[in-house]
Every structure is written in C-alpha cells, then in structure tokens.
Amino acid sequence: MTRRSIWPGSLMWWGTLWGINDHVAVTVADGFYIHLRGPDGHLAPDRAAYALHTAVRAVRDGVDLPQGYDRSKVPSLWAAYLHTGA
C-alpha cells in the first residue's frame, strides 16, 4: 500500500508493495530527495517519478547495499518501490 507523500493535497504517492530492508529504505529516501530538487535547487514535486526511478535504479545497480547482499539474487531489495499519480 502506498502512503501519501509529504505535500498536502498532493495527487501523487510513493511507497512499497511489501516490507523492505531498513538500510535500503534510507538509501532510496536519500536518493529520492536528492533527485527531487530541480536545477534551481528547490523541491520540484513534478520530478517525483524521476526521483524515485533514479533512486531505485541506483540501488538496483548495487549502490550502498548492505554487506553480503547480491542485488541480482535479492530483487526484493529494490523492486518493491512504486510511484502513483500525476
């Protein structure tokens, strides 16, 4: 189930389809908010899908995975994330 994003009245949400690894969740959240900023440095909610895609792809590519995890053998570490809405 997705949870409402931080913007009141928002038409978009991001969340996960199942329980996730805490370490990976922090990595994805950090990447999400880094990429959510527009070229001017301000938060740009219209970049949410791009930001989540970029953050999840970094984890899928092996960035900052917990010790001993193989991204190709444990896709549940990165495959649970989704974005819905505008």
Q: What is the pLDDT along the chain (86 residues), one digit of tens a residue?
A: 444 445 566 667 778 889 988 888 999 999 999 999 999 999 898 898 999 999 999 999 888 777 888 878 888 888 999 888 76
The answer to whether the beta carbons of residues 43 and 36 sit under 8 Å apart is yes
Q: What is the pLDDT of residue 7?
A: 54
Q: What is the pLDDT of residue 86?
A: 65
Amino acid identity of residue 46, one-letter, is D
Give a yes or no: residue 58 inside a domain: yes
Give a yes or no: residue 5 inside a domain: no
Query: CA dist 68 to 4, 33, 43, 60, Å?
Result: 32, 26, 34, 15
Give the Cα separation of 47 and 77 in Å (integer): 23
Determine the structural domain holding residue 52 and report its residue range: 15-85
Q: What is the pLDDT of residue 2?
A: 44
The count of domains in the chain is 1
Give a yes or no: residue 74 inside a domain: yes
Q: What is the pLDDT of residue 10?
A: 64
Give a yes or no: residue 38 inside a domain: yes
